[in-house]
């Protein structure tokens, strides 16, 4: 755990330069707009610890998987979002000395990610070896208004010298992924062009053949005036630049504006990319830095108006939730149904920027409640479009007759995880994809989705479960052998309760959905049956038999569900018994020891009780929470949020707050010692859930929307907004009461702390929080 980031309600601030933490800070200060992403790297050369990172959404590479010996069914490649051309670089040379914060003294350093307005700013005074002092202020952003574009304002002021300063803004495409499996280069150069103050380069990914054209142009200002300059174009392999030498006087500010655009063949004909890049560069430079930044601030203000969560009286908590919301908004906008949310977004290389079950289990509820309905729908459509690949994936593993196994990790629907054991065993992901359909329909009421897309996916997933279970003659029940549950600190277990439960639930929900669609639209239903050879009677009967006879491991003594059949054979002990200095376990224990231990990486049985809470009473939750939470090390970023929500439900306010801080400030405080790899983007949605479903107690069930909000002890107030079926509501909680404001014109009926209230259009109502006995 590290605490060098200044607490501030709206900004992530580093004062003093923490060289050793630079890769962590780079992750935290990442910029993005859903289309482009960029780590918080320095513009000028830096020979210290750094992970250069620039990403273009959807542009990936199938990196051959590393395995000892190949076996049938292993995924052939691990898809990674590529580290792409660096468009932010500006090398600064002051009379034969490079400006490089690794090799000079640094004074008055400050770096800020301004989340309210969406930019990154850095200022410092560098004291070069020669004694020259230069003051720098650099500001940059990825535009969320023009999502091809980024802009930089880089200001230099010599403090104690006059000199010729050589400035080299460049685009560097000679980039490798640090996590490449075979140290290969993933990009080939296609063409490049340079002009006066401009440069363009088009690169193509190997194997996948994506083209990305990056362009830049440069303007120089001295004494507040644009100036002409001599520009020397430079071209190396996969590199273009313009070099200009400027006379700089002591105390005189020189400002370099660098505009950059990135266009990809995902959105344009690749033959057109170069021409379009020229046009785009002309467009952004015409608009200029200040205008672009003004639009940026306005656009972010609009986002915050819909998304912001206000916590009164706890800056650490406030900063945490805003950081999470900010990064989520930077990662995914929901406008392009081909895109999705990588666990690290565009903030690092690990997990390759691919899609995991995180999307359905954690992100979907966030977007359901904070964005237009089409955003959540696009996330569902993404999986619908991958259905044929999921069927193919299951076929490779020996399943038949339209059974679908969605991939653990994917870019285009194909399975592409790096570890076979996860690919084959962690099949509960299939359940999360079914659950997301349920979640969406429940929240939006949009039952037409079932008819048009949902049922087809549900049937395919149910076919998988029906084949994946087997009848145990010994137990006279259906069992599911050889799986890995959400707790990846167990491997290849039998009858993971969560997986068995979500499998049977999927079958139940599919049967229900069959009934609904048949009633709603018999014609479309008949078409579907024919198209996918769905033999209703037989398949439903079979599914029902499994539902009725599924095995759920259970401990009658403790009255808890068992994470897996043999869990009680383990040497059970609480996390508090682990000797000091041995956590996080994954950095201190052998994998073997972890697997054999009772320690749980993330909610597993509890994850199931979270998804299906309506099917269990509170005492059941309480018993299972009391049994499992003490053995849980939360070394998955996805764990604390679920625990926080459940602790809230169980009235364990302190625990809920502790878990909230852990999820909200996971990256800011580098809890798991891995933020340098990138931020945990998908778990940030979990943070939002911890507030809205945890402290806010929001639920949507058959009876509609409800809230049971409360404030943790040290908060004076909590306010959040949600969208619900066309309405926009703000829920404001103090220690005493809850006010629900209805911004929409239609009235909204909901329950607050169990009391049904109807709030007229454009008005609000306050409910006193009942005092619990």
Shortest reach from residue 591's CB to its own copies, in Å: 4
Among 33, 86, 418, 430, binds its own copies (CB under 8 A): 418
Number of helices (H) and strands (E), helices first, in the chain?
22, 33
Burial of residue 614, with CB atoms counted within 10 A of its CB: 0-12 exposed, 13-18 middle, 19 or more buried: exposed
Ranges within 472-511 binding its own copies (CB under 8 A): 472-475, 479, 481-482, 491-494
Q: Which of 43, 121, 425, 488 is catalytic?
A: 488
Beta bridge partners of 106: 126
Site membership for its own copies, residue 626 (CB under 8 A): no
Among 65, 270, 430, 624, binds its own copies (CB under 8 A): 65
Site membership for its own copies, residue 586 (CB under 8 A): yes
CA–CA distance, 379 with 694 (Å, rounded to integer):
24
Among 108, 247, 372, 421, binds its own copies (CB under 8 A): 421
Q: Pick between residue 569 and residue 614 the one whose CB is nearest to its own copies.
A: 569
HEC assignment per residue over 463-507: HHHHHHCEEECCCCEEECCCECCCCCCCCCECCCHHHHHHHHHHH
Phi-psi category of residue 34: left, alpha or beta, with phi > 0 → left and psi -120 to 50 → alpha: left
Among 21, 42, 55, 78, binds its own copies (CB under 8 A): 78
Among 226, 291, 442, 593, binds its own copies (CB under 8 A): 593
Shortest reach from residue 572's CB to its own copies, in Å: 7
Site membership for its own copies, residue 417 (CB under 8 A): yes
Site membership for its own copies, residue 419 (CB under 8 A): yes
Site membership for its own copies, residue 130 (CB under 8 A): no
Cβ atoms of residues 38 and 27 within 8 Å: no
Q: Pick between residue 350 and residue 725 the one whose CB is nearest to its own copies.
A: 350
Beta bridge partners of 218: 258
CA neighbor of 366 nearest in space, from 335, 324, 312, 305: 324
Site membership for its own copies, residue 552 (CB under 8 A): no
Q: Provide the Cα torsion 320, 326, 331, 337; round to 10°.
A: 120
Chain CA centroid to CA 133, Å? 40
Residues with Cβ < 8 Å from 419, sequence gap 6 or more? none
CA neighbor of 693 nearest in space, from 487, 323, 443: 443
HEC assignment per residue over 688-714: HHHHHHHHCCCEEECCEEEECCCCCCC
Ranges within 424-483 binding its own copies (CB under 8 A): 424-425, 470-475, 479, 481-482
Q: Is 308 annotated as a binding residue?
A: no
Among 95, 527, 566, 577, binds its own copies (CB under 8 A): 566
Among 47, 160, 587, 618, binds its own copies (CB under 8 A): 587
Ranges within 153-182 binding its own copies (CB under 8 A): 181-182
Among 68, 131, 224, 581, binds its own copies (CB under 8 A): 68
Catalytic, 488? Answer: yes
Q: Is 69 annotated as a binding residue?
A: no
Residues with Cβ < 8 Å from 53, sequence gap 6 or more? 26, 30, 37, 38, 39, 41, 83, 346, 347, 348, 349, 678
Q: Pick between residue 427 and residue 668 the one whose CB is nearest to its own copies.
A: 427
Q: Give Rg (Cα) of the chain.
A: 27
Q: Is 741 annotated as a binding residue?
A: no
Q: Is 357 annotated as a binding residue?
A: yes
Output the DSSP codes for 135-148.
EEEEEEEE-SSSTT
Q: Pick between residue 379 and residue 427 the one whose CB is nearest to its own copies.
A: 427
List alpha helices for 308-372, DSSP H: 315-331, 358, 364-370
Q: Pick between residue 308 and residue 415 the one whose CB is nearest to its own copies.
A: 415
Shortest reach from residue 568's CB to its own copies, in Å: 4
* Count of alpha carbons within 13 angstroms of residue 310, beta-carbon side: 13
Site size for its own copies, by CB under 8 A? 52
CA–CA distance, 350 with 348 (Å, rounded to integer):
6
Site membership for its own copies, residue 398 (CB under 8 A): yes
Site membership for its own copies, residue 388 (CB under 8 A): no
Site membership for its own copies, residue 112 (CB under 8 A): no
User: Which residues are annotated as part of the binding site?
Assistant: 357-358, 601-602
Q: Which residues are designated catalytic?
A: 488
User: Which residues are annotated as part of the binding site for substrate?
Assistant: 357-358, 601-602
What residue ranges bind its own copies (CB under 8 A)? 65-69, 71-74, 78, 181-182, 396-398, 417-421, 424-425, 470-475, 479, 481-482, 491-494, 565-566, 568-572, 586-593, 595-596
């Amino acid at each position: 755990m590290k605490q060098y980031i200044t607490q501030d309600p709206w900004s992530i601030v580093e004062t003093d330069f923490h060289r050793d933490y630079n890769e962590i800070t780079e992750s935290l200060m990442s910029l993005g707009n859903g289309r482009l992403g960029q780590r918080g790297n320095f513009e000028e050369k830096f020979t210290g610890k750094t992970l250069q990172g620039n990403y273009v959404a959807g542009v990936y590479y199938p990196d051959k998987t590393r395995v000892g010996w190949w076996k049938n069914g292993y995924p052939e490649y691990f898809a990674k979002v590529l580290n792409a051309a660096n468009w932010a670089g500006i090398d600064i040379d002051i009379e034969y000395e490079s400006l490089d914060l690794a090799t000079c003294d640094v004074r008055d350093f400050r770096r800020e990610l301004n989340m309210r307005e969406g930019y990154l700013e850095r200022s410092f005074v560098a004291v070069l070896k020669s004694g020259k002092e230069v003051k720098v202020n650099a500001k940059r952003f990825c535009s969320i208004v023009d999502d091809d574009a980024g802009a930089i304002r880089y200001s230099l002021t010599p403090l104690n010298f006059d000199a010729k300063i050589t400035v080299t803004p460049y685009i560097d495409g000679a980039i490798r992924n640090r996590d490449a499996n075979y140290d290969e280069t993933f990009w080939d150069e296609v063409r490049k062009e340079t002009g006066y103050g401009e440069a363009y380069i088009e690169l193509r990914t190997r194997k996948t053949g994506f083209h990305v054209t990056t362009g830049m142009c440069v303007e120089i200002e001295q004494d507040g005036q644009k100036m002409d300059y001599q520009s020397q174009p430079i071209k190396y392999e996969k590199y273009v630049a313009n070099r200009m030498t400027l006379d700089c006087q002591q105390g005189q500010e020189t400002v370099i504006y660098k505009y950059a655009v990135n266009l990809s063949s995902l959105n344009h004909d690749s033959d057109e990319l170069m021409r379009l890049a020229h046009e785009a560069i002309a467009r952004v430079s015409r608009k200029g830095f200040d205008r672009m930044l003004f639009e940026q601030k306005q656009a972010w203000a609009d986002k915050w108006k819909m998304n912001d969560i206000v916590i009164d009286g706890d800056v650490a908590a406030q900063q945490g939730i805003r950081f999470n919301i900010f990064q989520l908004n930077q990662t995914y906008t929901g406008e392009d149904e081909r895109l999705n949310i990588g666990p690290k977004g565009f903030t690092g290389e690990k997990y390759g920027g691919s899609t995991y079950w995180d999307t359905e289990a954690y992100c979907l509820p966030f977007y359901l409640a904070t964005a237009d309905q089409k955003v959540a729908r696009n996330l569902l459509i993404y999986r619908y479009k991958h259905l044929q690949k999921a069927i193919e994936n299951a076929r490779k593993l020996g399943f038949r007759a339209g059974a679908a196994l969605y991939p653990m990790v994917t870019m285009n629907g194909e399975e592409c995880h790096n570890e076979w054991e996860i690919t084959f065993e962690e099949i509960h992901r299939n359940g999360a994809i079914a659950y997301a359909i349920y979640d969406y329909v429940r929240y939006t009421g949009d039952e037409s989705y079932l008819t048009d897309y949902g049922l087809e996916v549900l049937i395919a997933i149910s076919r998988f479960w029906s084949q994946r279970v087997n009848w145990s003659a010994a137990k006279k029940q259906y069992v599911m052998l050889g799986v890995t549950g959400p707790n990846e600190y167990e491997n290849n277990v039998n009858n993971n309760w969560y997986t068995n439960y979500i499998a049977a639930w999927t079958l139940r929900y599919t049967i229900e959905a069959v009934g609904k669609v048949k009633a709603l639209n018999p014609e479309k239903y008949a078409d579907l049956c024919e198209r996918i050879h769905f033999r209703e009677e037989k398949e439903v009967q079979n599914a029902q038999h499994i539902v009725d006879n599924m095995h759920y491991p259970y401990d009658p003594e403790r009255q808890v569900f068992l994470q897996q059949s043999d869990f009680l054979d383990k040497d059970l002990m609480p996390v508090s018994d682990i000797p000091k200095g041995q956590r996080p376990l994954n950095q201190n224990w052998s994998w073997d020891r972890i697997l054999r231990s009772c320690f749980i990486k993330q909610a597993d049985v509890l994850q199931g009780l979270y998804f299906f809470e309506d099917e269990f009473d509170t005492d059941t939750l309480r018993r299972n929470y009391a049994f499992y939470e003490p053995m849980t090390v939360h070394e998955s970023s996805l764990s604390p949020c679920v625990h926080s929500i459940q602790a809230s439900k169980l009235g364990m306010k302190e625990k809920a707050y502790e878990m909230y801080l852990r999820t909200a400030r996971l990256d800011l405080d580098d809890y798991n010692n891995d933020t340098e790899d990138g931020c945990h983007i998908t778990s940030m949605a979990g943070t939002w859930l911890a507030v809205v479903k945890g402290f806010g107690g929001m639920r949507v069930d058959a009876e509609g929307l409800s809230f049971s909000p409360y404030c943790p002890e040290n908060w004076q107030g909590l306010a959040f907004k949600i969208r619900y079926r066309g309405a926009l509501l703000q829920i404001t909680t103090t220690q005493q009461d809850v006010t629900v404001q209805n911004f929409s014109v239609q009235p909204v009926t909901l329950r607050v702390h169990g009391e049904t209230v109807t709030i007229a259009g454009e008005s609000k109502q306050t409910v006193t929080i009942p005092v619990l006995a």
